[in-house]
């Protein structure tokens, strides 16, 4: 089931490939204003998979020159939220219910987040009036390792009628 956000993404993918990342990022930042301050970039967006990146630039660094813990958490939340938002009907609100982030080692360089939903998860979102689910996300750094583990629990509820 397509919603306004997924239709806008589909329209972007009809344009020349060189502008996809830029336009996807612009679209995202119109919806999630704070993410733009960290310069998160959308690389790939579909109903089943989203890939986002954040560069290790001064505005997101911690005191030891790595990506700050909160910037890494923002990346995970943004990846899962974008993916979840692609699948929630327009009649419902997506809400982050909880997040757990375990920092296993120092992050090296920029980060890439990949969030995925199965067909079964998407079917549940579109058939249940409300609910919640864990949206898997993998965060890798420039070394190819996974310095953090994230669990993002997203919920969907009907919008209140005016």
3-state secondary structure of 55: coil
Instruction: Report pLDDT for 160.
Output: 85
pLDDT tens digits for range 72-111: 999 999 999 999 999 999 999 999 999 999 999 999 999 9
Q: Has residue 161 got a pLDDT over 90?
A: no
* Residue 56: band (very low, low, confident or very high) from pLDDT cuts 50, 70, 90: very high
| Contact call for residues 18 and 29 (beta carbons, < 8 A) | no
Q: How far is CA 143 from CA 16, 36, 81, in A?
A: 31, 25, 25
pLDDT, tens digit (0-9, with 9 covering 90-100), for 10-25:
999 999 999 999 898 8
Instruction: State whether residue 98 is helix, strand or coil.
Output: strand
Q: Walk me through the domains of the chain, giving residue ranges and CATH numbers.
A: 4-158 (3.10.129.10)
Cα separation of 136 and 37, whole Å?
24
Instruction: For 92, list phi and psi in degrees, rounded to 5.
Output: -125, 160
Reported as a single tens digit per residue, the pLDDT across 107-135 is 999 999 999 999 999 999 999 999 999 99
Residue 68 confidence (pLDDT): 93
Beta bridge partners of residue 156, listed in sequence order: 94, 131
């Amino acid at each position: 089931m397509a919603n306004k956000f997924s239709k806008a993404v589909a329209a972007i993918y009809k344009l020349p490939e060189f502008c996809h990342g830029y336009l996807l990022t612009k679209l995202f930042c119109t919806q999630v204003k704070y993410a733009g301050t960290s310069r998160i970039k959308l690389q790939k967006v579909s109903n089943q998979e989203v890939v986002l990146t954040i560069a290790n630039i001064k505005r997101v660094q911690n005191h030891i020159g790595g990506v700050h813990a909160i910037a890494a958490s923002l990346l995970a939340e943004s990846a899962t939220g974008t993916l979840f938002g692609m699948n929630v009907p327009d009649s419902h609100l997506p809400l982050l219910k909880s997040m757990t982030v375990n920092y296993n080692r120092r992050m090296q360089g920029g980060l890439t987040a990949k969030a995925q939903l199965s067909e079964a998860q998407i079917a549940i979102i579109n058939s249940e009036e409300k609910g919640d689910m864990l949206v898997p996300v993998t965060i890798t750094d420039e070394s190819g390792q996974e310095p953090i583990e994230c669990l993002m629990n997203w919920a969907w509820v009907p919008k209140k009628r005016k």
